[in-house]
Structure 1
Amino acid sequence: MKNILTSVNSFLCTSITLGIFSISLSGDAHAGIRQYRADIENSQWQLANNSRLQCTLSHQIPNYGEAKFSAKASRKLNMEFELDMMLLPDNYSLAEVRSVAPRWQPGKGGRSLTNMQLHKHFNPSLPKKVAWTMLSELEQGMSPTFYYNDWYSDQDKISVGLSTARFKKAYQEFVGCIGNLLNYSFDDISYTVLNYQSSSDKFTKASQRRIDMIREYLSLDPELELVLIDAYSDSYGGRWSNLKLSERRAAKIRDYFVKNGIDASRIEAKGYGEKRHISSNSTTLGRGKNRRVVIQMQKP
């Protein structure tokens, strides 16, 4: 009798999946599970983006879409996971994300990681902490798997798994790419004010470091369509000489960018002389603020 009860309990446990993805013993007998996962022979992981601006680790899921882990240049380490579906959701629902042992590791327990929101007409994504956890699970040989009810067929359930086959080499390349990302983003430099030494077209040390950052970013991002350079002076000296000084400052920056490989057609430079002061010229600090160049960058 004890063996019979044990067998029944085992059957019940394997017939009910934890979380929001469940198949009830009393449910529709015609309900099915559609499983999407690359087999060992077809599993491919690749470094789709490998630059100092973005790193993307990509995994194709046959007949379903693409799983992507991405990190971008930023002051802080970041990460995002996106499930790029061939057939987008038609309504809002939730998918349970579980770490599941592969078939060749029977008996190894899995665990629930999180719930992922499925939005209408948008690819679902997961934030940094969960994305890193999923990568860690893959590195340990586990398979992050998504379970949800099919929004086009009430009787069907969906299972989408990430294969561990051929993961580690691509993951090592991905980690190396992340270590080489710029430690600043487009938003950090898209509007920059640079300051000059008095009566000179030479930058202060802080501004020189800043323009080097902008030059490096410009050389890496072909999507930037326009760089605006507006130069200004303080009110010491004649207006004409200050106008010419500001024009030289703007031209010098433009030439610096062009010399470093930036297409001249993407750059507009202009000097305004004493116009548009942002501080009083009666103090050293105020004049220092007025001796400036404003660099603005625009993306399409």
Structure 2
Amino acid sequence: MEKWTVFGLSALACLISFHSEASSKRYVASPTESKWEMAVNTPLECRLVHPIPHYGDAEFTSHASKKINLDFELKMRLPMGATRDVSLISMPPSWRPGDTADRISNLKFFKQFDGYVGGQTAWGILSELEKGRYPTFSYLGWESRNQRVEVALSSVLFQHQYDVFSQCISKLLPYSFEDIAFTILHYDRTSVQLNKASQKRLAQIAEYIRYNKDIDLVLVSTYTDSTDTKAVSQDLSEKRADVLRNYFQSLGLSEDRIQVHAYGKRRPIADNASPIGKDQNRRVVISLGRTQV
């Protein structure tokens, strides 16, 4: 993001002042209006929402993933009509007038998009709220060039819901849909059950499916090595496919959302002349599809 000239803190304090100014339009929840709500609290997603009267909503979101993540969006009722440089300032509440303003970051909000902040800066906004301060976004209004828009997040009643939000993040699954959408698992020689390592991976897929109601297709394709005859291999492949079909049905998926294909010894991906190659060919490929939102 582009940098802009940094004003002195005293100038910023005046710029983002909570006192009435004809040249600025301020949006902030009063202490009696301020509320924070957990809109989503699942092992797949945590979402903390703060309504800003007459402006929109501030939303913090974290998703199941291999890495801890945090996104912040300033959802506007009226989308930005022009791209704007934005100063993000941590302001003291009005009942702490002796405190100074601190600059958090410089951002850009893009035309026709909600204001987005990610990564360390998003965590920084949470940290300032936890201190009882008011993170404030300030930018030149696109409707009137002479008017500055100031949007503040109130820290009133923040702490309790922040504790709930933090607990939710600690319980997020350590993998995302993308991590399990395409998975190759393996079998021992003649078993219809997956080997131990693959069973653990299958359990992760199952856990994700239990919480995600948007999974609308599970595609299962089973294969064997070339040790047995075509008929024996095909029979084994079909049995493996049936086991997995029943498994996914036990998770609550309807039969029409599960497609299984048994290919037997066809379509090897490795040389069946070696033990390692045979291990690789004794496999099932599981692909997940979900409703796009």
Q: TM-score, normalised by structure 2?
A: 0.92
Distance (whole Å) between structure 2 residues aligned to residue 77 and residue 163 of structure 1: 25
Equivalent residue number for residue 158 of structure 1:
149
Equivalent residue number for residue 5 of structure 1:
none
Distance (whole Å) between structure 1 residues aligned to residue 162 and residue 113 of structure 2: 26
| Secondary structure, aligned partner of 1:17 | helix
1:17 equivalent to 2:12? Answer: yes
Equivalent residue number for residue 103 of structure 2:
112
Distance (whole Å) between structure 2 residues aligned to residue 62 and residue 290 of structure 1: 60
Q: TM-score, normalised by structure 1?
A: 0.90
Distance (whole Å) between structure 1 residues aligned to residue 9 and residue 277 of structure 2: 74
* Partner AA of 1:90 in structure 2: G
Of all paired residues, the percent bearing the same amino acid is: 37
1:167 equivalent to 2:153? Answer: no
1:231 equivalent to 2:226? Answer: no
1:72 equivalent to 2:49? Answer: no
* Partner AA of 1:17 in structure 2: L
Q: Please state how far the C-alpha of 1:265 moved relative to its aligned partner.
A: 2.3
Count of aligned residue pairs for this structure pair? 281
1:245 equivalent to 2:240? Answer: no
Q: Please state how far the C-alpha of 1:244 moved relative to its aligned partner.
A: 1.6
Distance (whole Å) between structure 1 residues aligned to residue 9 and residue 117 of structure 2: 29
Q: Which runs of 5+ in 1 are unaligned?
A: 1-11, 24-29
**CA 1:22/1:58 → structure 2, altered by over 3 Å: closer, same or farther?**
closer
Distance (whole Å) between structure 1 residues aligned to residue 246 and residue 16 of structure 2: 64
1:280 equivalent to 2:271? Answer: yes
Q: Please state how far the C-alpha of 1:13 moved relative to its aligned partner.
A: 8.7
Equivalent residue number for residue 178 of structure 1:
169
Q: Which runs of 5+ in 2 are unaligned?
A: 1-7
Equivalent residue number for residue 256 of structure 2:
265
Q: Please state how far the C-alpha of 1:44 moved relative to its aligned partner.
A: 0.8
Q: Please state how far the C-alpha of 1:94 moved relative to its aligned partner.
A: 1.2
Equivalent residue number for residue 289 of structure 1:
280
Among 24, 41, 48, the alignment partner of 2:32 is 41
Is the Cα contact below 8 Å between 1:54 and 1:71 reproduced in 2?
A: yes
Among 128, 135, 138, the alignment partner of 2:129 is 138
**CA 1:101/1:291 → structure 2, altered by over 3 Å: closer, same or farther?**
same
* Partner AA of 1:76 in structure 2: K
Distance (whole Å) between structure 2 residues aligned to residue 298 and residue 34 of structure 1: 46
Distance (whole Å) between structure 1 residues aligned to residue 95 and residue 160 of structure 2: 20
